[in-house]
Structure 1
Amino acid sequence: MNRDGKGTISVRLVEEALQGFTAPSRSAGQLLHQLGLDAIDLGDSEARIDVAEYSKLWRRLARHFDDEFFGMDARRMRTGSFAFVCRAAMAQPTLDSALRVVLEFFRLTFEGFAGELYRSESLAEVTLTERPEAQPLRAFSYFTFWMLLHGLACWLVGRRIPLLAVELRCDEPAYTDDYRVMFSRNLRFARPTTRIIFAAEALDLPVRRSELELHGFLAHAPSNILVKYRDTTSLASRIKAQLRELPAECWPTSEGLAQTLCVSPSTLRRRLAEAGQTYQAIKDQVRQEMATLWLADASITYADIAERLGFADVSSFYKAFRKWSGTNPGQYRSLILRGDEMGHSASR
């Protein structure tokens, strides 16, 4: 166990994974021992464990209880289910048809919810429908489902599919840091429905995976999914954190940034290049994060957002947002606010 963010998962998510199988007669410590795993100090909420260790816990829990969804639905997701749905999905020509096959399989698997894929102009969303009288699931339940679905989708097309927003019916839990790194900084809790939103252009990407690649993917799951999300201590993550604390007009130049990091400009460029990043790309990523948050607030005008992000005019902001996200601000705002309006109508 360590406190280094690189390649690690919060111990709080270990506690969440164990929760469905603990009982007065079987503590978390006893369960870990039963699974043949080293003891973990769950009382140290700031501690982290290696992704490989979390992956081992994940697989052993699933095999021991014959449930790949950790006892979080009335029906078990029996061991081998994820492998089965991966094989079914990879036989599809595009991500669109693959996701529909996956969601149909999960609809037959789970009793408490069902997922549906919708496409609206340049945006796509996967929405979970739950029984109206049902209490919201734990945040960990929703995020586990999204990890399975989104992780599989990214593998099928061989690229990361950015999520513009993740909305959940449940209240915000005490811990969300890893979730924001895993999925999106734009997490919205206590919403009318649970859904993820992303650019529809991803649905047209071809699925090109072989049986050999599937064996490799399954052999290393879920650590090969989780490791792509991690590293809150990376140089890029540190730069993003610094930019989020400042108005866009106060963001440093690359030379000024290098000075604050106590390195030369050339060293900064080299280190970012080694990580496949540029300073400009990092600034654009933070601008997109801020834009998606502000677009969900109808009281903030497009002109206000453009100004806050340092654009000369609204037109420049529109072009940039389209480049970042594959959609335009108007379509994204319309989809987000429509979900809010549906929630208000249902509560009346």
Structure 2
Amino acid sequence: MTQALIPNPFVRWHFRDFQKRGYSIEQICQQFSVPETVFTSEGKDVSADGFAEMIKQSVVAIDDESFGGISTSLPVGSFRMMTYACITCQTLKQAIHRTCNFYRLLSKQINWRLDIGEQQSKLVFDTNLAGTTGASHNYFIIFTSCIIWRWLSWMIDKPIELSQLTLNFSPAYASSYLPGLFKTQVHFEREESAIYFDNSLLDMPVKQTPDSLQTFLINAPQCLMSHYQSSMSLTKKVQEYLEDAQYIGETNLPHAAEHFFCSEQSLIRGLKQEGTRFKDIREKVRKQKASYYLVKTKLTNQQISAQLGFSEVSVFYRNFKKWFGVTPSQYRENPQRASQHDSKAQ
């Protein structure tokens, strides 16, 4: 799957308030791993996952999930608390009402609401009572409406198709990106900022559970700016994490859970939902690394055993024979023979 790319103007929009806070472009690039070309080019130089990581780091840096969009900041963890408050809802309608109520409690400047018409409903992201305007406020409207829309899609495990997006400000920074982001027509200079969708969705049941929420929160809310379902499975992410580890033997479940900012049980449950276990992924990566070291490097069997985290070389020998049907020395001499054995075993 081709990785989605975020337009540079939209990334710049995200960091506009940081420049007002005194951050130089050089500081932004260094602290948040932003390519310098983001500020010099109109192209696309940031992947969706890369942008998600920038969002996560920048939220922590200023402790404000509104990015300065409203004068009363939303502290880090606000979205997470909201998800826990809503996960027990029975229907989409109930989840929307509870989401709106939660954010109204957090800030008097937020007055979100659900208006239900004859055929269409609209979720209004009203902050006009705050009297706040400007690029940061407009970005907050775009960011939160996208996040909440995709969060609700995840809740019912179904993409919510929007009939339109209305915004109560003029076309400005990165406006051309919005139809693609929301996959619908966008209208500016309207009375309210709102997303519109069919009433039939309101009675859709919430399919997620507290268990699935734990896995979801590993990458949310930042990942929701590009998708409501991860473009890479948790299994694949864990596999890549282990592949990048210099000493896989020192990388265990607690280390992995810490890396993904979740509990060990959350990681176990997430992998179980995808039909695998941490130790199975680790075993697969160990096997791949063993093959690589023997064919591509001049490391001794003892060195390879240590790299892979085996307590003794003899334990490495036994595992290798189980994997490939030959000893490490035989494999190094004729890896093709071992590959044939491996194919038959599978």
TM-score, normalising length from structure 1? 0.60
Size of the aligned set, in residue pairs, is 225
Q: What residue number does 2:124 align with?
A: 127
Aligned-pair distance for 1:87? Answer: 1.2
* Structure 1: stretches of 5+ with no match in the other structure: 231-348
Q: 1:133 & 1:90 partners in 2: Cα distance?
A: 29
Provide closer, same or farther for how the CA distance between residues 130 and 59 of structure 1 changes in structure 2, counting only shifts above 3 A. closer
Partner of 2:175: 176
Q: Secondary structure at the match of 1:166?
A: strand
Is the 1:181–1:229 contact (alpha carbons within 8 Å) kept by the matching residues of 2? Answer: no
Tell me the equivalent position of 1:214.
213
5 Å-filtered alignment, 1:106-121, equals 106-121=103-118
CA distance in 1, matches of 2:102, 2:228: 25
Distance in 1 of aligned mates of 2:228 and 2:179:
9
Task: Please give the alpha-carbon distance, in whole angstroms, between the structure 1 residues aligned to 2:144 and 2:167.
Answer: 12
Deviation per residue, 1:46-97 (Å, 9 max, x gap)? 2331011100000001111111121211111111111111111111111101
What's 2:76 paired with?
79
2:18 pairs with 1:21: yes
CA distance in 2, matches of 1:24, 1:208: 41
- Structure 2 CA distance for partners of 1:143 and 1:156, relative to 1, 3 Å: same
User: 76, 96, 100: which is aligned to 1:99?
Assistant: 96
Give, as a single letter, the amino acid of the residue that structure 2 aligns with 1:51.
Answer: A
1:221–1:198 CA distance, 2 compared to 1 (3 A) = same
Instruction: Say if 1:89 and 1:25 are closer, same or farther in 2 by CA, change over 3 A.
Output: closer
Tell me which residue corresponds to 1:195: 194
Report how far residue 7 of structure 1 moved. Answer: 0.9
Structure with bigger helix share is 2
> What amino acid is aligned across from residue 19 of structure 2 in structure 1?
T
C-alpha separation between the residues in 2 aligned to 1:227 and 1:14?
Answer: 12
Aligned to 1:65: 62
**TM-superposed deviation, 1:18:** 1.1
Task: Write the distance in 2 (CA, Å) between the matches of 1:196 and 1:74.
Answer: 24
Residue 124 of structure 1 aligns to a residue whose secondary structure is strand
Shift of 1:22: 1.6
Query: How many Å separate the matches in 2 of 1:222 and 1:135?
Result: 24
Aligned to 2:203: 204
Name which of structure 1's ranges 162-171 and 175-184 shifts more when overlaid on structure 2: 175-184
Alpha-carbon distance, 1:221 to partner: 2.3
Tell me how far apart the structure 2 counterparts of residues 208 and 58 of structure 1 sit (CA, whole Å): 27
Q: Given residue 147 of structure 1, which amino acid in structure 2 is its aligned partner?
A: C
Structure 1 position 56 matched with structure 2 position 53: yes
The percent of aligned pairs where both chains have the same amino acid is: 19
State the Cα distance separating 1:39 from its structure 2 match: 3.7
How big is the alpha-carbon RMSD for the aligned residues of Structure 1 and Structure 2? Answer: 2.3
Letter in 2 for 1:217: F
1:128 deviates by: 3.1
* Secondary structure of 2:126's aligned partner: strand
Once the two structures are TM-superposed, the CA of residue 26 in structure 1 deviates from its matched residue by 2.2
Looking at structure 2, the residues matched to 227 and 174 of structure 1 have their Cα atoms a distance apart, in angstroms, of 18
Q: Is the 8 A contact 1:136 1:169 kept in 2?
A: no
Deviation at 1:222, TM superposition (A): 4.1
Rg: which structure is higher? Answer: 2
Q: Matches of 1:46 and 1:220 in 2, distance apart?
A: 26
Partners of 2:9 and 2:173 within 8 A in 1: no
Identify if the C-alpha distance between structure 1 residues 223 and 78 changes in structure 2 by more than 3 Å, giving closer, same or farther. closer
Give the Å deviation of 1:31.
Answer: 2.6
Which residue identity lines up with residue 63 of structure 1 in the other structure? V
